[in-house]
Structure 1
Amino acid sequence: MEETPKAGKEPLPPEFFNSPGKDPHGWNAALRAGCPVHKIDHPPGAEAYVVADYATALKAFTDPRLSKRVEAAPQWFQEQLRDASPVLIKNMITADPPDHTRLRKLVTKAFTPRRMELLRPRIQQITDDLIDEFPESGTVDLMKFAYSLPMRVISEFLRVPDHDRPQVQADVVMLSEAPYPDEERNRLLRVASDKIEQYLLDLLAERRKDLGDDLVSVLIRAADEDDVFTEDELVSTLVLLIIAGHKTTANLIGNGTQALLQHPDQLELLVRDPSLAESAVEEFLRFEAPVFRGTLRIATEDITLNGVDIAKESFVHLLLSSANRDPEAFENPDRLDITRTPNKHFAFGHGAHFCAGAPLSRVEGSIAFPTMLRRLRGLRLAVRPDELEWIFDNSTSRGLATLPISYDARLPR
């Protein structure tokens, strides 16, 4: 879509999510200026709404009438999800308390801030190893680096053997974009789902014979101690962690880099003061959110949000990227400011479902950006910004297909 449609009374088309054109932020601004709770035809044919403003999204995050359970959705959607990939719907992201509390406890034992900080030296080493593979100067697609870094980190965290990683990555990327609008890709999705489920079941069985300090071992110990987790839940949790553990961070690196390279003043500021890296990561997350909308939420009863009546079994999509640029919540929201404080963005969600993997993604980002700027002298975009291709797949993520960058010299680590 080449033009930014106006927010009106008609439902937004599915293209609002999967093909929003060159100016999705302008479309979001039009929604916020009109009625920020607006009908949308997504999933196609369903009763569904978007929430575009910060204040309503903040309340919706903690509204118990908005369920994450697949069972709260219309029957046809439940059947579609279960048919496409049953392994995806047995983890904390599709659960309400008390099941969510139980399943999240399993993950939080692994993603502690202390454990993430202990990973910092290894993440730095992996980052430098990957940059060492760059040519001494010239042009590269930075998205290859952006995907390789978090995938290598999460694979080591899980202790997945090197030779298995490409296939594991391919399968979970396939799962992350489910369900598909066509039967052929849904058939391939079911194949990928069966493959990754069996692989992880075998991995769990092997790891039980050789427990270590990796994430899989931590999850097994936690599950065995509490004796309240099924093997299906363990597998589904691992799939979720692999998806969230690499795709979101890849988009953070890609989205953040392109934003930084289009704002020379902020680029110079970060080059001059690398201690701003953590603050810069938060601003990249706000400015170009790697996850543009929240995951599944279903109204369990008739409710009203910001004066709009929403019927039971309606889908409610929280527009994170729109809320993150709401002028009622952020001063000069369309300006990139790596020193912004406070910066209470929704890039990782909010409330009980706040992303458990956020500490790992933040550590990776705080290492990747200053390392790139330190080692790639003269870093710049190799194409015009309007030539960049943004991917809005069927998942909730938003990132770049490629990110061609040029530099004058690759400096030693």
Structure 2
Amino acid sequence: MSQSTDLDLTSSRFKANPFSAFARLRTENPIYELSSSNGQRTWLVSRYRDVETVLRDDRFIKEQQTLLSHEERAHPTTASADDLFSLGLGKFDPPNHTRLRTLVNPFFTPRQIELWRDRIQEITDALIDGLVERGSMDLLEDLAFPLPLTVILEMLGMPAEDNVQLHSWTKQIVDALDDPAAFEQVGAQLEAYHAYLWALVQRKRENPAQDMITQLLQPDAQGDRLSDRELVAMIFLLIMAGYQTTGCLIGNGMLALLTHPEQMALLQQDPTLIKSAIEEFLRFRSPLMLGTYSWAREDIEWGGQLIRRGDLVLVALAAANRDETEFENPDTLDITRTENRHLAFSKGVHYCLGAPLARLEGQIAISTLLRRLPQMRLQTPAEDLVWRPGAMILGVHHLPVVF
């Protein structure tokens, strides 16, 4: 999908400050038709209330396959690397989505995630211990991304000796997700990742352990369980989603503090503000600029536009989270903000499964950095930081700091 020249959602330059363009859209063209080179009509929704509608209204669906004729639908019968994306939780609507989510949700309740607090703190401290003597680091490469990836691999029960390989595959695939040309180059990594996960699931069945994968192999109270193909896709999703969004939450949050020293000083003086600070970081620069794809299930007249059945509808979460009709002084970073119904984790049935984990990891990582490295500052001027291209992820490539 290519955007018109005045709204190039995928460019690093646009990503550095998309908010002025989003503000104009909310005022002048809140349901905006993007230009496309492939014939797929695509709409961008930018107002808070409209974004909320798409996220909640069942006229907008995730299962594009249901819009195709039986002959047009893909009917894969054997496991392949394509399963990693086609069988992901975000590709389904109820009742399929409800079934998958019900099976995995018990592992991500706030109470269950709280049991991991001490272990997340240990991992965070261990990462910082290895950096203290250096006096500088790439905050993303050295902490923000390794932390959530290490945690989710441990929760799942992945063999510790495979972590280096899993880190490598995950980073290569995530870096390529928003770039069609780059994505074509990671086919071998996807095949290898799929083969690894498939073999791991079989080993867990033969040698059960006290971990999430082993438990997901067992039927629930109603006798239902994930198929092996569904389980492999679920493991892949949990790894990818946690790595991307939580890493960007920590990175964007620290960047916000480093460029707003009065807010940083306030949080250092009153560490109890960390919970409201995390919510403000999620709102101020959402890790996902756009939500996952939705498709119009039927023709819809909306805001003076006719959205036709089969049109692609994109929600600009980052735009909605700066909507002046919903947030007071939306372009101001305020870690004491209490009225903060941001949409960074989506809403409705597709509300982020891992939100409690992301929040806890963000709270621990940022609190620990401020406590242990209180003199941290940017090594590069903020305006020189390079933002990741692509329309989905909102974050910089690198965040060099000194301390």
Counterparts of 2:7 and 2:196 in 1: how far apart (Å)?
34
Cα deviation 1:72-129 (Å, max 9, x = unaligned): 4679x987x9998332111221001100000111220211212100000000000000
Instruction: Say which SS state the counterpart of residue 221 (structure 1) adopts.
Output: coil
**The residue matched to 2:217 in structure 1 has which SS?**
helix
Asked if 1:325 corresponds to 2:318, the answer is: no
1:152 to 2:150 alignment: yes
Distance in structure 1 (CA, Å) of the matches to 2:200 and 2:193? 10
1:20 Cα offset (Å): 4.7
1:333-363 Cα shifts (integer Å, max 9, x gaps): 0000111112110111000000001110001
Question: Are 1:405 and 2:401 an aligned pair?
Answer: yes
Among candidates 368, 372, 376, match of residue 371 of structure 1: 368
1:137–1:188 Cα change, 3 Å? closer
Aligned partner (choices 307, 311, 315) of residue 312 of structure 2:
315
The one-letter code of the counterpart of 2:87 is K
Letter aligned with residue 403 of structure 1: L
Shift in Å at residue 41 of structure 1?
Answer: 3.0
Identity %: 38
1:15 corresponds to which residue?
8
CA contact (8 A) 1:84 1:178 kept: no
Q: 2-side partners of 1:330 and 1:301: how far apart?
A: 32
Match of 1:30, as an amino acid? R
SS in 1 for 2:52: helix
Partner of 1:181: 180
Amino acid at match of 1:197: H
SS in 2 for 1:110: helix
Helix, strand or coil at the partner of 2:314:
strand
Indicate which of 33, 37, 44 corresponds to 2:31: 37
1: CA distance, partners of 2:230 / 2:263: 43
Q: How many angstroms apart in 1 are the aligned matches of 2:221 and 2:203?
A: 15
Report deviation, 1:255: 0.6
Amino acid at match of 1:236: A
Check the 8 A contact 1:291/1:398 in 2, yes or no: yes
**Which of 352, 356, 373 is equivalent to 1:355?**
352
Q: CA offsets, 1:380-405, max 9 Å, x none? A: 111111011111336x2111111011
**Contact conserved, 2:81 with 2:191, CA < 8 A, in 1?**
no
| Conservation of the 8 A alpha-carbon contact between 1:58 and 1:350 | yes
Report the CA distance shift for 1:128/1:227 in structure 2 as closer, same or farther (over 3 A).
same
Query: Any residues of structure 2 matched to 1:8-407 within 5 Å, and which?
Result: 15-21=8-14, 22-41=16-35, 44-72=38-66, 85-136=82-133, 138-144=135-141, 145-176=143-174, 177-178=176-177, 180-182=179-181, 185-222=182-219, 226-393=223-390, 396-407=392-403
**CA distance 1:254–1:223, change in 2 (3 Å):** same
For 1:405, give the aligned amino acid: V
Cα deviation for residue 304 of structure 1 reads: 2.3
Q: 1:143-180, CA deviations, whole angstroms, 9 ceiling, x for partnerless residues?
A: 11111111111111112123312322333344444475
In structure 1, distance between residues paired with 2:333 and 2:122: 29
User: What is the CA–CA distance in structure 2 between the aligned matches of 1:210 and 1:14, rounded to whole Å?
Assistant: 52
- Aligned residue pairs: how many? 393
Does the Cα contact within 8 Å between 1:12 and 1:39 map onto a contact in 2? no
Corresponding residue for residue 5 of structure 1:
none
Mark the CA change 1:178 to 1:372 in structure 2 (over 3 Å): closer, same or farther.
Answer: closer
The farther-off stretch of 55-64 and 227-236 is 227-236
Partners of 1:403 and 1:186 lie apart in 2 by 24
With the length of structure 1 as denominator, give the TM-score of the two structures.
0.89
AA aligned to 2:83 is P
**Residue type matched to 1:17 in 2?**
T
Whichever residue aligns with residue 117 of structure 2, its letter is R
| Separation in 2, partners of 1:306, 1:338 | 34
Confirm or deny: 8 A CA contact 1:84 1:189 kept in the other structure.
no
Q: Measure the CA separation in 2 of the matches of 1:23 and 1:231.
A: 42
CA drift at 1:328: 0.5
Secondary structure in 1 aligned to 2:287? Answer: coil
SS at match of 1:39: strand
Using the alignment, how far apart are the partners of 1:403 and 1:222 within structure 2? 44
Unaligned stretches of 5+ in structure 1?
1-9, 408-413
Structure 2 unmatched ranges of 5 or more = none
Q: Please tell me the root mean square deviation across aligned C-alpha atoms, in Å.
A: 2.5
Q: CA deviation at 1:219?
A: 1.7
Tell me: CA distance 1:219–1:228, structure 2 relative to 1, closer, same or farther (3 Å): closer
Q: Secondary structure at the match of 1:293?
A: coil
SS at match of 2:327: coil
Q: Counterpart of 1:411?
A: none
Evaluate the alpha carbon distance shift between residue 228 and residue 239 of structure 1 in structure 2; reply closer, same or farther with a 3 A threshold. Answer: same
